[in-house]
Structure 1
Amino acid sequence: MANHEQQAGGGAPETELKLALRAEDVEPLRARLDRLAAPRRDRVDSTYYDTPDLRLARSRAALRLRRIGTGKRVRWVQTLKTEGEGGDSALSTRGEWEAALPGAALDLSRFAGAPLSRIFGADAAAEGLRAVFRTVFVRTIWDVSAYGAHIEVALDVGEIRAGTRRAPILEAELELRSGPSTALTSLALELTGATRGKKKADLRLMPYGASKAARGLRLAMGVTAGPTPATRAIADAGSIDSRDGVDAVCRKLVGAALNVVLANAEGASVSDDPEYVHQARVALRRMHAVVEILAKASDGERGERGLPRAQVREMRRWARRFGAARDWDVFCSETLPDLRTYGRDAASGKAAVPREAGTSGPWQGVLRRAHGKCEAARNRLRAQIAGPAFAHWALELVHWSAAPPRDSAPLQVVAPAAIGRLLRRFARRGARFSRLSDAERHKLRIAAKRLRYVLEAAHTAFPKKATRDTMHALEQFQDAAGRGVDVTVAREAIARLTRSAAVRTEARKWGRVRQRDATKQAAHWLRRLADPPIRPRS
């Protein structure tokens, strides 16, 4: 973002926080910033370049030529940005090289020390580059001193242009010029209008990981960002050493999982693809498992003091909200189709019940009402994530995860003791699986999920093979037990959706068969988990 041109083209790290805005929040945000500093405004027109094979984009870099101002006040600045610490997160530190130019022509020779040779090879030159897209916006800048830091706040309103395609730009960027990086999130939280314990946020300032370069490239290629797998949180957390303090590990993992939640929440707000909701929900559960097991074990009797309890409660609340939408997605896309095609007797191989029952009669009403419930749950979630509360909670988590970690015991000490204890408790409860109620089986399945998620996060503290085998057994049990839970959910849903005795009877028959198969499979994997739990790496 920097407007401080580096005349020699030297590089400097850029730490910034990106925030997506609603149109109705622009003027209130502008008014709050005006109270902090005097604004200055410029028109900014940037052209982004790449090779025909998108070599820059594949190297996670962006090259632009920017025209700033109008008339005699026009300045030309070329900039190269590379991925750094934080990756696609809203709060990140990236490599940045800038050079002032005399006119509208790239001059890569001005980038002293930039990693162009690594990207292009020895013959780094502008000849092979082509314009891919433009960004045109009005930028208002405030130089703010707050929280022991000097922060440049930019408010951008305009659009991305790629051929005939357009996408809006409505965002704020907070760049750290000096001071602690936590000042960025502290200022952003202040700007939401929330005050501790007194007033809720009234502006939606959503932490936003997608850069203009990434959005512009997708627009130019005519593609959208697909669902982000929840497993990406582990990869994005970077290298985790078993000697690292648990608090540092938890902050790193929570921050990475939050990135996944936010990316999928953005997708869920505009797409009916159920995977966005699914992956966001799983990432929330992974995040909660880390806090619930590792952070809690590290804090001992202090409980969840590492992450404030209010934020933990909000984490659970958002997991329930995503879960409500996901439950109806599963019922409509997986359970109902299975119910409609059920009827093959395992022993005889013959159809016990004539199928395609879901195409007419009472089943038609069940399908219609179920899909109505699914759509209503999805729209309710969209309305919830579109409000200031979700953005404020996300900002608080960004702030916590980016703060300096507290002194805490190393992962290799905390994880084996905590996970070993939970595995032994899980095995004892699993030995009584056939006698457990539906609610108790569901709790055991949740325990398996949490164990698997936290074991994956803390895998460096355990031998590889033992960790892999235990995680596999937990996952298989979780899937089998989940099919049993789906039966319970389906029975309750059918009871709400129809009074038809025929439909309810058929659902009970289906449920008995599916529950029997699920119980058999779950018991098999529980026997595998009854062996001594995995041991710490020696």
Structure 2
Amino acid sequence: MGHEIELKLSLPARSLPALRRHPLVAGAQKLGQTVTLDNTYYDTPDLALKARKVALRTRRQGRIWLQTVKCAAPSTGGLSQRPEWEQPYSGAFDFSAVDNPAAARLLIRHEADLVPAFTTRFRRETRLYSPAEGVEILLMIDHGEILAVGRSAPICELELELQSGSATDLLELACELARSLPLMPGDVSKAERGYRLFLDQPLEPLRAEPSCLTPQMNLVDAFRGLAFAGLRQWQANAAGAAQNDAPEFIHQLRVALRRLRSLLRLFGPALPPDFVDEWNEHLRDTAARFAEARDLDVLYEELLAPVEAEGLSRDEALPRLLAIARTARDQARDSAVRNLDAAGQGRLMLEFSLALHRLPSNNLIGAADLTTFARLQLTRLRKKARRRFEAADKLIPARLHALRIALKHLRYGVEFFGPLFPAKQVARYLETLARAQDTLGFLNDVDVARGRLESWADEVEDLLAAAAFITGWHGPRYARLRRRALQEAKPLLWGKAPWRA
């Protein structure tokens, strides 16, 4: 069995000439001629291999045929390490070399049912990059397409495969290339893309992963694992938003960035201060690019669309105000897509991944107990939320908003550290916390909407009545939730918490 360690980077086809001209690529040793690779992926009619995250492929390169079996493994920032078994193919499958017992049993059990599912055909150029003794990296430029049941999708990517050296060497090369090339790290393999095409599955927004923590982890490894999960969410939703205008991609992208910033603050005592400051700034600035689009989506979908559907007003002013809101929302969405800037986003993701790999540790951090650290940090977050609660006793909107932000940070902290504490208690606490956060979120949405609607109406005076009608329509619910906002939050901040022994 081999372990394939590679970094997958996508780029626009128009950028291929610039990639080939790049000094690091042009100066790397060319290995043979450009070749055409014809690949066929096999599965059972009910996709039993896909269900177990096993890929089976045959490849024809000229007169040479190969059989390859791969098992899925986590990929982050385009960097993956997968077990792989490759051998000559003579027209019949042979799984005797697969030394993963579960994968071998699966393949042998279904061998008679295997049929072609989809194919890929692409041209591959291969070069060997060796910047220092002991470091060898294959640079493979692939350009072609995936074909499945009459549908097709393009392939245009650079794969960096480690022959010798470390994962950091791959990331350093990728960061250098990304300084002048529009490279986007990709966690989706050709096989995964093929299955999506075969099943005609649309891209779906990626939500936050469950926490991966265990009590045995040291603080830096715990942070790194959680940060990689956040990076996967950021990357997947940035890629999705570039291809799909569904607003949830932008929302989940911003969630990923917020969670990463919260994670930096939470683990700050165990991390280099310059690392925390630098990446907090980068992530904050990136999230700010998409704030307007998300705010206007919430305004329209959550507050205006229900009023429009009711059709309560016969006045011409309300449809005009709704049209202004739709136009603003659509413009903000277009701006968000432009702000995605694949080149800039890809470069930032690669640099963040490299910085995570380079994070230092020391004996003091290694000796620190993760569960004790979690208790201290969650207690600190709860004390901060208590102060925000006490300041919000007059129900002033700005102070309720500050309490909402404090509860959000507490919620992220409980989600991150949740596996270290009793699962049922954590689940109950998070459910109550989410409910309180939703209440405060609605109040903030209405407060923000009132200001925005009035600013639009100020420019056209006869729209003021329409703006007042919209906020008044939500008035009863606003008043009801405003009265109970602190009642919902109080038990969370002074009652029993799952991390308290």
Q: CA deviation at 1:136?
A: 0.7
Aligned-pair CA distance for 1:252: 0.8
For residue 272 of structure 1, the aligned residue among 226, 241, 245 is 245
Alignment of 1:73-472 (within 5 A): 74-84=63-73, 86-87=74-75, 90-102=78-90, 105-109=91-95, 111-115=97-101, 118-120=104-106, 123=109, 125=111, 127-146=112-131, 149-193=135-179, 202-230=180-208, 233-234=209-210, 238=212, 240-293=213-266, 295-299=267-271, 303=273, 305=274, 307-340=275-308, 356-357=311-312, 361-403=316-358, 406-407=361-362, 408=365, 409-472=368-431
Is the Cα–Cα contact under 8 Å of residues 220 and 359 in structure 2 kept in the other structure?
no
The answer to whether the aligner puts 1:506 opposite 2:469 as a matched pair is yes
1:385-410 superposed Cα distances (whole Å, 9 cap, x missing partner):
23311111111122233446523233
Helix, strand or coil at the partner of 2:72: strand
Aligned to 1:347: none
CA deviation profile, 1:326-350 (whole Å, cap 9, x unmatched):
1111111111024446xxxxxxxxx
Q: Helix, strand or coil for the counterpart of 1:285?
A: helix
Distance 1:402 1:222 in 2: 36
Distance 1:531 1:114 in 2: 51
CA shift in 2, pair 1:88/1:218, >3 Å: farther
Say whether the 8 Å CA contact 2:95–2:104 is kept in structure 1.
Answer: no
1:152 partner letter: L
> Does structure 2 retain, via aligned residues, the 8 Å contact 1:297–1:414?
no
Deviation (angstroms), 1:124 = 5.3
One-letter code aligned to 1:219: L
Is contact 2:54-2:103 (8 Å) kept? no
- Pairs aligned (count): 489
Which residue type is aligned with residue 49 of structure 1?
A: Y
The question of 1:65 aligning with 2:58 is answered yes
**Which residue identity lines up with residue 448 of structure 1 in the other structure?**
L
- What is the CA-CA distance between 1:133 and the residue it aligns to? 0.9
CA-to-aligned-CA distance 1:331-384 (integer Å, 9 cap, x gap): 11111024446xxxxxxxxxxxxx514676112122222112112111112112
Residue aligning to 1:16? 6
SS at match of 1:534: coil
Q: Single out whichever of 372-381 and 396-405 deviates more from structure 2.
A: 396-405
1:442-485 residue CA offsets vs partner (Å, 9 max, x unmatched): 12211111110111111234344443343233212211100110
Mapped partners of 1:386, 1:359: distance in 2: 43
Q: Runs of 4+ in structure 1 displaced over 6 angstroms? A: none
Deviation at 1:26, TM superposition (A): 1.5
Aligned pair in 2 of structure 1 residues 222, 144: CA closer, same or farther (>3 Å)? Answer: same
- Range moving further from structure 2, 258-267 or 480-489: 258-267
Separation in 1 of the partners of 2:318 and 2:140? 55
Q: Which residue of 1 aligns with 2:485?
A: 522
Give how far 1:433 is off.
Answer: 2.0
> Quick one: distance in 2 between partners of 1:218 and 1:535?
40
Q: Deviations over 1:390-448 (max 9, x none)?
A: 11111112223344652323322322112102202212321342325322221221111
* Alpha-carbon shift at residue 114 of structure 1 (Å): 4.8
User: How far, CA to CA, are the matches of 1:434 and 1:513 in structure 2?
Assistant: 20
Indicate the SS of the match to 1:168. Answer: strand
Q: Do the aligned partners of residues 412 and 116 (structure 1) sit closer, same or farther apart at CA in structure 2, a change above 3 Å counting?
A: closer
C-alpha distance after superposition, 1:234-273 (max 9, x if no partner): 25xx3x1123222211111111111112112222222232
- Structure 1 distance, partners of 2:193, 2:314, is 42
Query: CA–CA distance in 1 between the matches of 2:385 and 2:225?
Result: 27
Aligned partner letter, 2:201: V
Q: Which residue of 2 aligns with 1:351?
A: none
Q: Is the 8 A contact 2:454 2:464 kept in 1?
A: no
- Give the partner amino acid of 2:88: A
Q: Does the C-alpha gap of structure 1 residues 117 and 275 become closer, same or farther in structure 2, counting only changes over 3 Å?
A: closer
What letter is aligned with 1:75?
I
Query: Cα gap change, 1:59/1:404 in structure 2, threshold over 3 Å: closer, same or farther?
Result: farther
User: 1 CA distance for matches of 2:306 and 2:3?
Assistant: 54
Identity %: 31
Contact conserved, 2:220 with 2:361, CA < 8 A, in 1? yes
Q: For residues 117 and 418 of structure 1, what CA distance do their matches in structure 2 show?
A: 42
Unmatched 5+ residue regions in structure 1?
A: 1-10, 194-201, 342-354
Do the aligned residues in 2 keep the contact of 1:138 with 1:157 (CA within 8 Å)? yes
Q: Verify the 8 A CA contact 1:143 1:151 in the aligned structure 2.
A: yes
Task: Tell me the SS of whatever aligns to 2:289.
Answer: helix
Name the residue aligned to 2:27. Answer: 35
Bigger helix fraction: 2
Q: 1:120 to 1:88 in 2, by over 3 A?
A: farther
Q: C-alpha deviations, 1:19-57, integer Å up to 9, x for none?
A: 111223211111120123335421111111111111111
SS of equivalent to 1:424: helix
| Kept after mapping to 2: 8 A contact 1:135/1:159 | yes
Cα gap change, 1:181/1:523 in structure 2, threshold over 3 Å: closer, same or farther?
A: same
SS of the equivalent of 1:107 reads coil
> Cα RMSD over matched residues?
2.3
Q: Deviations over 1:304-326 (max 9, x none)?
A: x4x35333211112222233221
Structure 1 contact 242–461 (Cα < 8 Å) conserved: yes
